[in-house]
């Protein structure tokens, strides 16, 4: 496949460790620290909760193995947007990109930024009035960092990824070797009466695992992407799977099941204080803050690439401005500013968590379409055109498809109104696509 023009203007300077840190860094945010109780309650037992984390990771791994085959054949900037366009045509490519930049990407950045603001206010004992300024200030600072050459953002991603692994390692080691409660041997009547189910528990873990595909947005900036992109995706997801499973096991081994159920989102904080004393809570907060900052950096580094890729093909309003690259840094600074402004508005006026929830359904619709695309590509392209082949084909992509369909069906059953809103958001992109198409045809 021939390279597009956009790869001639972006620097292919990101190596394996940068790509790997992006996968790990954009997945590990706050989910593993705050989802323990909800997964336990929904699963119905500690053993089932641990199995839910493991199964969610395995489903995500099959998705990564499938996307790795697609991405190796299309190592261009834009990720999912490029995959959908080249498999299904320009309209579907546009809609996948539109969905990500219209709400999904900015809402995720806004929600993480808003939660980080809450943590910073509590950590420094400030008034709640500082929450929004701190949230916006942090995403602006990270955005400025990513306006320099991409090696700076990548280096920061590596540093924050290493930093977030420290509290994870502490939880795993202390829970495994010093825990004596062993929640696995306990029976909790209140948990068995939970209104959730094992499927809901797996769904919660899948959301916690989401974000790994964003590294594909930088396919045009990764050295030897046909080789390094599959390696980074597969190894990154595998590391997260192991970390999530061990953290959950460590907490269940140290904290009684009834206590986890009672504490809810405060379970991990309780663990830190019980394990390391009163200072443990503050140390954990520092670890979570680093985790959130790293997660923000990965998303601010990747989402503007979708804006750039679409604007570069004149598919968006103000395409000339949004496709601008700084002459020295070769970074899409206008696209980055646009995403930051949009996310800041969401922090000030909207509930970004709700907005991101609305888009989960749509994201997984495009996920499942891309997973199906691996079968279509095998029919179109000879084996020699595949730099990477999905192990266990066709079973592996079929598991990925079933996992994505599970998310879609679960969302329809639990939030039909949200699903309809998501579809309306995507539909708004259709007239924009045809308007730009007519505009381009007259030039």
pLDDT of 305 higher than 80: yes
247-280 residue pLDDT tens? 888 888 888 777 887 777 667 777 777 777 777 7
Nearest to 26 by CA among 165, 213, 207, 155: 213
CATH number of the domain within which 26 lies: 1.20.1740.10
Highest mean pLDDT among 26-35, 208-217, 353-362, 399-408: 399-408
Instruction: Kindly state whether residue 292 falls inside one of the protein's structural domains.
Output: yes
Q: Cα separation of 317 and 436, whole Å?
A: 8
Q: Cα separation of 331 and 301, whole Å?
A: 10
Q: What is the pTM of this model?
A: 0.80
pLDDT band at 8 (very low <50, low <70, confident <90, very high): very low
Instruction: Kindly state whether residue 1 falls inside one of the protein's structural domains.
Output: no
Position with higher pLDDT, 103 vs 380: 380
Residues in Cβ contact with 402 at an 8 Å cutoff, skipping those fewer than 6 apart: none
pLDDT band at 6 (very low <50, low <70, confident <90, very high): very low
Coil, strand or helix at 222: strand
pLDDT at 379: 92
pLDDT of 194 higher than 70: no
pLDDT of 308 higher than 80: yes
CB 359 within 8 A of CB 110: no
pLDDT at 186: 54
Tokens encoding 74: 């299309």
pLDDT at 153: 67
Count of alpha carbons within 13 angstroms of residue 427, beta-carbon side: 6
CB 305 within 8 A of CB 78: yes
Domain count, the chain: 1
Coil, strand or helix at 263: helix
Instruction: Kindly state whether residue 3 falls inside one of the protein's structural domains.
Output: no
Instruction: Kindly state whether residue 160 falls inside one of the protein's structural domains.
Output: yes
Secondary-structure breakdown of the chain: helix, strand, coil percentages, each rounded to the nearest 5: 80, 0, 20
**Cross-strand partners of 77:** 218
Instruction: Kindly state whether residue 22 falls inside one of the protein's structural domains.
Output: yes
Angle at 207 between CA 204 and CA 212, to 5 degrees: 150
129-173 residue pLDDT tens? 898 999 999 999 999 988 877 677 677 777 877 777 787 888 888
Q: Which of 2-6, 92-96, 182-186, 314-318 has the lowest mean pLDDT?
A: 2-6
Boundaries of domain holding 47: 16-183+193-442
pLDDT band at 180 (very low <50, low <70, confident <90, very high): low
Instruction: Kindly state whether residue 266 falls inside one of the protein's structural domains.
Output: yes
pLDDT at 181: 57
pLDDT at 212: 84
What's the whole-number average pLDDT of the chain? 82
Tokens encoding 322: 């949004």
pLDDT at 401: 95
pLDDT at 134: 94
DSSP codes, 333-371: HHHHHHHHHHHHHHHHHS-HHHHHHHHHHHHHHHHHHHH
pLDDT at 30: 67
Percent of the chain whose pLDDT exceeds 70: 89
- CA distance readout (Å), 82 to 78, 114, 402: 5, 30, 23
Q: Cα separation of 50 and 59, whole Å?
A: 14
DSSP codes, 42-78: HHSSHHHHHHHHHHHHHHHHHHHHHHHHHHHH--SBT
pLDDT at 98: 93
Q: Report the interhelical angle of 278-312 vs 267-276 (nearest 10°).
A: 140
pLDDT band at 51 (very low <50, low <70, confident <90, very high): very high
pLDDT band at 358 (very low <50, low <70, confident <90, very high): low
Position with higher pLDDT, 351 vs 231: 231
399-408 residue pLDDT tens? 999 998 988 8
């Amino acid at each position: 496949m021939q390279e597009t023009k956009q790869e001639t203007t972006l620097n292919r300077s990101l190596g394996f460790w940068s790509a790997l840190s992006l996968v790990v860094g954009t997945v590990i945010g706050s989910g593993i620290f705050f989802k323990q109780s909800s997964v336990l309650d929904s699963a119905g037992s500690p053993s089932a909760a641990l199995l839910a984390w493991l199964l969610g990771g395995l489903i995500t791994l099959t998705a990564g193995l499938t996307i790795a085959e697609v991405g190796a054949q299309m190592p261009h900037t834009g990720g999912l947007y490029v995959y959908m366009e080249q498999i299904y045509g320009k309209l579907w490519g546009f809609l996948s990109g539109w969905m990500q930049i219209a709400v999904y990407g900015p809402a995720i950045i806004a929600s993480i930024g808003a939660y980080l603001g809450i943590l910073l206010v509590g950590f420094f004992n400030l008034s709640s009035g500082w929450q929004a300024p701190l949230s916006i200030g942090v995403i602006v600072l990270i955005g400025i960092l990513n306006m320099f050459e991409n090696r700076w953002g990548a280096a920061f991603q590596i540093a924050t990824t290493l930093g977030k692994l420290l509290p994870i390692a502490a939880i795993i080691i202390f829970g495994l070797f010093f825990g004596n409660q062993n929640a696995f041997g306990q029976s909790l009547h209140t948990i068995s009466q939970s209104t959730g189910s094992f499927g809901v528990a797996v769904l919660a873990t899948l959301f916690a695992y989401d974000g790994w595909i964003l590294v594909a947005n930088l396919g045009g900036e990764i050295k030897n992407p046909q080789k390094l992109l599959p390696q980074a995706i597969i190894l990154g997801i595998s590391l997260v799977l192991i970390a999530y499973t061990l953290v959950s096991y460590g907490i269940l081994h140290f904290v009684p099941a009834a206590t986890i159920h009672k504490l809810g989102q405060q379970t991990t904080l309780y663990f830190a204080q019980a394990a390391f004393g009163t200072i443990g809570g503050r140390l954990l907060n520092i670890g979570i803050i680093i985790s959130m900052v790293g997660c923000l950096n990965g998303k601010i580094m990747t989402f503007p690439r979708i804006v750039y890729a679409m604007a570069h093909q004149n598919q968006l309003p103000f395409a000339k401005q949004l496709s601008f690259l700084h002459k020295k840094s070769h970074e899409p600074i206008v696209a980055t500013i646009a995403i930051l402004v949009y996310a800041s508005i969401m922090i000030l006026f909207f509930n970004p968590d709700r907005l991101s929830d609305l888009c989960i359904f749509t994201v997984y619709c495009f996920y499942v379409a891309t997973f199906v695309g691996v079968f279509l590509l095998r029919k179109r392209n000879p084996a020699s055109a595949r730099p990477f082949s999905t192990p266990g084909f066709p079973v592996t992509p079929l598991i990925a498809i079933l996992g994505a369909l599970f998310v879609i069906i679960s969302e329809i059953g639990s939030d039909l109104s949200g699903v309809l809103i998501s579809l309306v958001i995507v539909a708004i992109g259709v007239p924009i696509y045809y308007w730009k198409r007519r505009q381009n045809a007259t030039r």
